[in-house]
Amino acid sequence: MTQVRLEEILSQEQISNNELAEILGDMFVSFSKHLKDLKNQLSSLSEELDDLKKEIQAIEDQSKLGFGIILEDEED
């Protein structure tokens, strides 16, 4: 639905059931498209977050190779 069509409908004294259905139908289609876009963005962010977690884990694993914690120090 175009803005012109919406303004045309809203400028009338009475809105028919068909015109109301037209407005609601377009709203549902618009909401559906926006929700699909949001879902895709969330999926993309989730994948990026998983990649970052893997990179952080790899850095942590590499840093553990050269360093250790001495729990007890043996005396000579």
Kindly report, residue by residue over 27-49, the tens digit of the pLDDT: 999 999 999 999 999 999 999 99
pLDDT in tens, 13-32: 999 999 999 999 999 999 99
> Who contacts 12 (Cβ-Cβ below 8 Å, separation ≥6)?
19
Give the up-direction half-sphere exposure of residue 47: CA atoms within 13 A in the CB hemisphere. 6
Distance CA 38, CA 43 (A): 9
pLDDT at 65: 66
